[in-house]
């Protein structure tokens, strides 16, 4: 079983739609969680950190469920520019290393 698992997609949604991705992690000792965005053939960039209480940044909402060991990303009112691959990242504080999921590809269509 992979340490961090994501549905690879693609998720094809129309502009204006709400879309949600989940990511599961296997290491219960994981302490920090992040979503990164990667455009096609480009480098990943930090989208947002995921806090225990959940957090929102504009149209993006991230949630953490420790009991079930998953994190989620909700995108409201999708824009064409949201088309990208979203990478779930988990940090184990013991080793300070980041483990990346395989990414979920989102395609927003007009």
Partner 1 sequence: DGGITQSPKYLFRKEGQNVTLSCEQNLNHDAMYWYRQDPGQGLRLIYYSQIVNDFQKGDIAEGYSVSREKKESFPLTVTSAQKNPTAFYLCASSIASTSGELFFGEGSRLTVL
1 binds partner 1 (CB under 8 A): no
Q: Report residue 64 CA to chain centroid gap.
A: 11
29: burial class by Cβ within 10 Å (0-12, 13-18, 19+)?
A: exposed
Token pair of 49, please?
């950190």
**Which parts of 49-78 interact with partner 1 (CB under 8 A)?**
49
Question: DSSP class of residue 88?
Answer: E
Among the listed ranges 14-22, 58-66, 73-81, 97-105, the one in contact with partner 1 (CB under 8 A) is 97-105
Binds partner 1 (CB under 8 A): choice among 46, 65, 77, 80: 46
Place of tokens 């502009």: 15
Binding interface with partner 1 (CB under 8 A): 4, 8, 32, 34, 42-46, 49, 87, 89, 91, 93, 96-103
């Amino acid at each position: 079983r992979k340490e961090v698992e994501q549905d690879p997609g693609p998720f094809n949604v129309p502009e204006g739609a709400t879309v949600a991705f989940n990511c599961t992690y296997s290491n219960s000792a994981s302490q920090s969680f992040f979503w990164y965005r990667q455009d096609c053939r480009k480098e990943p960039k930090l989208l947002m950190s995921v806090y225990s209480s959940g957090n929102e940044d504009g149209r993006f909402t991230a949630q953490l469920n420790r009991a079930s060991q998953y994190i989620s990303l909700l995108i409201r009112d999708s824009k064409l520019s949201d088309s990208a691959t979203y990478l779930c990242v988990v940090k184990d504080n013991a080793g300070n290393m980041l483990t990346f999921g395989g990414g979920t590809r989102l395609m927003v269509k007009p």
